[in-house]
């Protein structure tokens, strides 16, 4: 697979890239593509046909000047009129198929990329280069594939018009056309150089551009506006953005200036050749006793031929430019991803234990291990809590259990079956999770809850029950549109919820789930300690048939679980029930004592501490 940002160097690379693009167009919609090619070839012939009609018209006018009979010129005008109507219809038909093909291609590319991203494992997203590539594909592919389509259509039309010009010149002297063709080559070379330079700049700048866009999105995102305003960050961000724009502009102006000078020089060469041939045609028409119509025909055809060549050559360079961008798409699509269809072991629905065996893990691109020699056993249908200071590896441990990452060594087993051998779709059907940074879906409340069980999107009674269990029903019932309330202030007619209310919705999603393992990774941070305690008591009672794992910093809630694992610097320091660990008088007892002392002194009302 080509590395990202690798440039198309050889003609062979270029042709291969074009072949891939054509295959993409073909797969997007075969039927439309065939019709598109046919009508555009027909449309391309309109230029030579119009020139021929015009030649006959001029000749008939010259004759009419002596015979005074205007019948023939009028007939030719009529023919010209009818052909113009035909041409207009043809152009509209071409536009119709072009727009359809563009939509089909956009849809097809979106489908392919979303499918690819779905298949990619989590560690891929830690690779900045790949992450950039995905963003580029997302931002640029549709536009550049559309450009490619338009350019290819232009090439088709111009090829057909060039073929017409060659046919007209066949008898008169086709060498003229050949020399005109070579005169246009320097301009092609310059255009390709320019495209290549622009692509280099784009690649170099991409991460910075992404950063600028991120800054812009901070300023304009509803939830951020309050903080940006109060901290008076607007003008600081604006200056950072504008400074970058100024640097880019300076760089771009320098390059544009250089290429404008070179382009002007090649244009002079093209004009010398063109005007030289016009004089040559004039001499030849006079010496051969040809008509005025012939003179117009050859001069116009030469000019049309040169235009076609220029169009084709500039199309080649703009195709090169777009192909460089679209290369990111092919890089992404060509990336190997695990095959989802691979049938593997079925999930042991009535399992007895989950076991971590000497698990080590480090994040891609990082030297140090985040988890070191982790071993423990979780029994089915019991509740567990993972406790530890910030950065001790709690979420990472959960990510491994969720198969978002694979251990560097060691195994995670469910009843002796390695979780990686279980069919992924089935695995996820049986595991539910609520993260601290859960998603705020741009749907109504009903769907925001129902998404906790994708197979039961229309099960409203279950949605209501889940909301009741999470204590979300009280505020939902007070909203005018209740469960049909659209959420997220960024959308029209939507309501903004408080963070605590959002968290209750996220927890309702967990109650929708039919999974046998449930993980709550600090989803209650915005609830007060009492609400969290009440919620988890309910949770524990309702989820008695599930294995639950709770991550929270509030040790008052943790008391409710059957067993606690204490993590420190990526290692399991101690484990046991609340009472056992207090008796053990280690890290857990120290943290617990510290929190309860703070409660006693009234220093900790809403927040957990560590």
Ligand X SMILES: Nc1ncnc2c1ncn2[C@@H]1O[C@H](COP(=O)(O)OP(=O)(O)OP(=O)(O)O)[C@@H](O)[C@H]1O
Query: In the complex, which residues of this chain contact ligand X (CB under 6 A)?
Result: 126, 363, 366, 370, 388, 390-396
Q: Which two tokens stand for residue 114?
A: 């979303």
Question: φ, ψ for residue 472 (rounded to 5)?
Answer: -95, -20
Q: How far is the CB of 440 from ligand X (least distance, A)?
A: 19
Residue 595 beta carbon to ligand X: minimum distance, rounded to whole angstroms: 15
Alpha helices in 68-127 (DSSP H): 71-119
Q: How far is the CB of 411 from ligand X (least distance, A)?
A: 19
Partners of residue 549 on adjacent β-strands: 384, 519
Q: How far is the CB of 371 from ligand X (least distance, A)?
A: 8
User: Which CB sits closer to ligand X, 128 or 283?
Assistant: 128
Tell me the angle at which helices 529-542 and 499-512 cross, rounded to the nearest 10 degrees: 10
Strand-strand pairing, 371-379 and 353-361? antiparallel
CB of 559 to ligand X, least distance (A): 19
Identify which of residues 4 and 435 has a Cβ nearer to ligand X in the complex.
Answer: 435
Minimum distance, C-beta of residue 397 to ligand X, in the bound complex (Å): 7
Task: Sheet with 383-388: list strands edge to edge.
Answer: 431-434, 517-521, 547-551, 383-388, 563-568, 571-576
383, 577 in Cβ contact below 8 A? no
Q: Which is nearer to ligand X, 68 or 366 (CB)?
A: 366
Q: Rank residues 131 and 363 by Cβ distance to ligand X and give the closer one.
A: 363
Report the C-alpha gap between 410 and 399 in whole angstroms: 15
Query: Of 391 and 442, which CB lies nearer to ligand X in the complex structure?
Result: 391
- Using a 10 angstrom Cβ sphere, with 0-12 exposed, 13-18 middle and 19 or more buried, the burial of residue 169 is buried
Report the sign of the C-alpha dihedral through residues 423, 427, 429, 434, in that order. negative
Quickly count: other Cβ atoms within 10 Å of residue 51's Cβ: 21
Instruction: Kindly tell me which of 48 and 388 has the beta carbon lying closer to ligand X.
Output: 388
What minimum distance in Å lies between the beta carbon of 341 and ligand X?
28
Could you write out the DSSP letters of every residue in 403-460?
A: TSS--SEEEEEETTEEGGGB-HHHHHHTEEEE-TT----SSBHHHHHHTTSGGGTT-H
Smallest distance, ligand X to C-beta of residue 396, A: 3
Contact in structure between 244 and 237 (CB atoms under 8 Å): no
Looking at beta carbons only, is 546 or 553 nearer to ligand X? 553
Between 522 and 563, CB nearer to ligand X: 522
Q: Is 336 in contact with 130 (CB distance < 8 Å)? A: no
Q: Find the shortest distance in angstroms from Cβ 478 to ligand X.
A: 32
CB of 466 to ligand X, least distance (A): 26
User: For residues 216 and 220, what is the distance between their CA atoms, to the nearest angstrom?
Assistant: 6
Maximal C-alpha separation, the chain: 123
CB of residue 509 to ligand X, shortest distance in Å: 20
Nearer to ligand X, 164 or 608 (CB): 608
For residue 44, what are its two tokens?
């391309």
Report the SS3 class of residue 341: coil
CA dist 441 and 443 (Å) reads 5
When the beta carbons of 323 and 374 are compared against ligand X, the nearer one is: 374
Nearer to ligand X by Cβ, of 371 and 470: the residue is 371
């Amino acid at each position: 697979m080509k590395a990202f940002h690798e440039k198309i160097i050889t003609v062979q690379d270029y042709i291969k890239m074009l072949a891939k693009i054509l295959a993409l167009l073909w797969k997007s919609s075969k039927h439309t593509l065939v019709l598109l090619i046919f009508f555009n070839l027909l449309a391309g012939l309109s230029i030579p046909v119009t020139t021929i009609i015009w030649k006959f018209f001029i000749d008939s006018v010259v004759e009419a000047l002596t015979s005074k009979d205007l019948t023939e010129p009028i007939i030719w005008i009529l023919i010209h009129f009818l052909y113009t109507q035909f041409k207009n219809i043809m152009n509209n038909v071409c536009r119709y198929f072009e727009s359809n093909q563009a939509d089909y291609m956009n849809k097809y590319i979106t489908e392919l990329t979303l499918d690819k991203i779905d298949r990619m494992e989590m560690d891929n997203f830690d690779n900045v280069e790949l992450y950039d590539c995905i963003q580029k594909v997302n931002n640029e592919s549709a536009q550049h594939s559309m450009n490619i389509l338009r350019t290819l259509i232009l090439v088709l039309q111009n090829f057909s018009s060039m073929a017409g010009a060659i046919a007209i010149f066949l008898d008169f002297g086709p060498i003229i056309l050949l020399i005109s063709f070579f005169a246009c080559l320097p301009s092609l070379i310059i255009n390709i150089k320019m495209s290549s330079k622009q692509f280099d700049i784009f690649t170099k700048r991409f991460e910075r551009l992404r950063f600028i866009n991120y800054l812009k999105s901070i300023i304009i995102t509803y939830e951020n506006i309050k903080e940006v305003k109060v901290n008076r960050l607007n003008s600081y961000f604006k200056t950072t953005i504008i400074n970058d724009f100024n640097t880019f502009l300076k760089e771009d102006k320098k390059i544009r200036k250089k290429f404008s000078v070179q382009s002007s020089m090649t244009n002079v060469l093209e004009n010398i050749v063109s005007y030289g041939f016009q004089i040559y045609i004039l001499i030849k028409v006079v010496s051969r006793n040809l008509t005025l119509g012939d003179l117009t025909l050859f001069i116009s055809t030469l000019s049309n031929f040169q235009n076609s060549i220029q169009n084709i050559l500039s199309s080649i360079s703009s195709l090169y430019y777009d192909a460089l961008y679209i290369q990111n798409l092919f890089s992404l699509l060509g990336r190997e991803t695990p095959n989802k269809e691979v049938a593997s072991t079925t999930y042991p629905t009535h399992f007895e234990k989950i076991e971590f065996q000497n698990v080590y893990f480090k994040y891609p691109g990082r030297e140090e291990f985040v988890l070191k020699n982790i071993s423990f056993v979780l029994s089915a249908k019991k509740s567990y809590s993972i406790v530890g200071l910030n950065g001790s590896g709690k979420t990472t441990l959960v990510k491994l259990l969720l198969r978002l990452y694979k251990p560097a060594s060691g195994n995670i087993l469910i009843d002796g079956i390695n979780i990686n051998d279980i069919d992924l779709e089935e695995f996820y059907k049986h595991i539910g999770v609520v993260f601290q940074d859960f998603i705020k879906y741009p749907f109504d409340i009903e769907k925001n809850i129902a998404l906790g069980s994708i197979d039961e999107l229309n099960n409203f009674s279950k949605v209501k029950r889940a909301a009741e269990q999470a204590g979300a029903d009280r505020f939902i019932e007070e909203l005018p549109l209740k469960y049909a309330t659209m959420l997220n202030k960024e959308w029209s007619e939507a309501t903004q919820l408080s963070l605590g209310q959002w968290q209750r919705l996220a927890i309702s999603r967990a109650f929708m789930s039919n999974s046998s393992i449930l993980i709550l990774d600090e989803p209650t941070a915005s609830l007060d300690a009492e609400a969290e305690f009440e919620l988890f008591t309910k949770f524990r009672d309702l989820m008695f048939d599930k294995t639950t794992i709770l991550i929270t910093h509030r040790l008052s809630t943790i008391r409710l679980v059957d067993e606690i694992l204490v993590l420190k610097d990526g290692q399991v320091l101690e484990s046991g029930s609340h009472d056992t660990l207090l008796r053990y008088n280690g890290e857990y007892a120290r943290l617990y004592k510290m929190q309860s002392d703070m409660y006693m002194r009234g220093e900790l009302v809403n927040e957990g501490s560590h």
